[in-house]
Amino acid sequence: MYNLYSYMQERGRVVELEGRMAKIAIEETGACNKCPAGGMCRPAGGKRYLEALNTVRAQVGDTVLFELSTGYSLLAIMLFFGLPVFLGLVGLIVTAGRGEIVTVIVGTAGFGFGLLIAKVVNDVLAARRTLLPRIIEVLRRDRT
C-alpha cells in the first residue's frame, strides 16, 4: 500500500542561500533513470534544482542529504499538471456545440484558472513550510 506520509531521501549540493531556504542542485542517481517523472525534473536535460528548508545550517558548497515527502510530490504533480488540464477539458466539454471560438475561449480560461488555483495553493503551502523538502544532514563541507 502506498503511504502518502513516507519520505524520499536524496543528495545534493547547496548552491544558494536565502534566509532559511537553500537552493540545492540535485545529484542524479540510478533511481532517476527508473523514475517515471524523471523527464519532468530535467525537461531540458540540465541540472535539477529545488528549494529546501535549511534545518541544519548548511552553507553554499556543502553536500547535503535532504528529504522530500512523497505525498507532497504527488500533490504537486496533480496540482500543476492535473488540475489545469482537468479544468480546461471541463470547459471544452461544457461548451461543446456552442461554436468553436466559444469552446476554445472557455477551455483556455478553464486551463488558466487551473494554473491560477495551483499558484495560490502553492503559495499557501510554501508559506506554511510544512510540506517543503528539508535538509536533514550535511554530508560534506566543501566550500570551493
CB 56 within 8 A of CB 64: yes
User: What's the pLDDT band for 62 if we cut at 50, 70, 90?
Assistant: very high
How many domains does the chain fold into?
Answer: 1
Distance from C-alpha of 142 to C-alpha of 144, rounded to nearest angstrom? 6
User: What's the pLDDT band for 80 if we cut at 50, 70, 90?
Assistant: confident
Give yes or no for residue 2 having a pLDDT over 50.
Answer: no
- Residues of the domain holding 25: 8-140
Distance from C-alpha of 89 to C-alpha of 77, rounded to nearest angstrom? 17
The answer as to whether 3 is a domain residue is: no
pTM metric for this prediction? 0.59
The answer as to whether 118 is a domain residue is: yes
The answer as to whether 67 is a domain residue is: yes
Residue 22 main-chain phi, psi, to 5 deg:
-125, 135
The answer as to whether 2 is a domain residue is: no
Q: Which span out of 29-33, 37-41, 86-90, 140-144 was modeled with the highest average pLDDT?
A: 86-90
